[in-house]
Amino acid sequence: MHHDDFNFEPVRGLPEALPADEHILWQGAPDPMRLAIEAWKMHWIIGYFAVLAVWRVGISSLSVPMPVALSHAIAFVLSAIAACVVVYIMATVQARSTVYTLTNKRAALRIGAALTMTLNLPYVCIGNAAVQTRRNGTGTLSFELIDDTRVSYMMTWPHARPWSLRRVQPAFRCIPDVGRVAAIFAEAAETRVHTPRIEKLDPAHSAPGAVAAE
């Protein structure tokens, strides 16, 4: 894996030019609204203020007419709207600063709005993958890394599988048409992992009749 924080991007989403034998298969980014809902828990914010508004109206209705009691909920409604706008703006900034990439050799995540980081995951470092699909086709594709490959949850959030803290799984979070992206990944990873590599050995160090192959 490779981390590169500040280099100019010769290729969008990647810190360096691609080798001659590597090419991009897919690039994308999170859907801002889905990111706001799933990562920033916008629906929980709405629910919190809704409970406060109902509670305030209920308490007020014991001492004042209902129309007046309802007006006491206006402050909570406005607060909920303001909080949701702030959350949506943060999710939009994150989404616009993110580029997910699949090549024929790796998955890459360019993440971070203030401090940009590029996380490269060669397919040989990925032990498994999981896909979560919503009814509208958006979803999350997460990567389970092999045992000796470690990443930080704090550094990768929200681009990680939720609540997977002990074994952090980097993820393409809230991407549109996740089923198609998962299929592209599966085909590329299968091809890459099962591609044989031939290693040239020094004839002086090879046993007679031995074939140098890996």
Q: Would you say residue 2 has pLDDT above 50?
A: no
Q: What is the pTM of this model?
A: 0.82
Residue 177: is it exposed, middle or buried by C-beta count within 10 angstroms (0-12/13-18/19+)?
Answer: middle
pLDDT score at 98: 96
pLDDT score at 195: 64
Residues 6+ apart with CB under 8 A from 205: none
pLDDT in tens, 27-83: 999 999 999 999 999 999 999 999 999 999 999 999 999 999 999 999 999 999 999
The chain-wide mean pLDDT, for the chain, equals 87
CA 123 to the chain's CA centroid: 17
Instruction: Give yes or no for a contact between 145 and 109, defined as CB atoms under 8 angstroms apart.
Output: no
Q: Report the share of the chain in percent with pLDDT over 90.
A: 69
Distance, CA of 181 to CA of 31 (rounded, Å)? 14
Distance, CA of 35 to CA of 90 (rounded, Å)? 10
Phi and psi (nearest 5°) for 160?
-150, 155
pLDDT score at 6: 42
List alpha helices for the chain, DSSP H. Answer: 32-38, 42-60, 66-71, 74-96, 153-156, 178-193
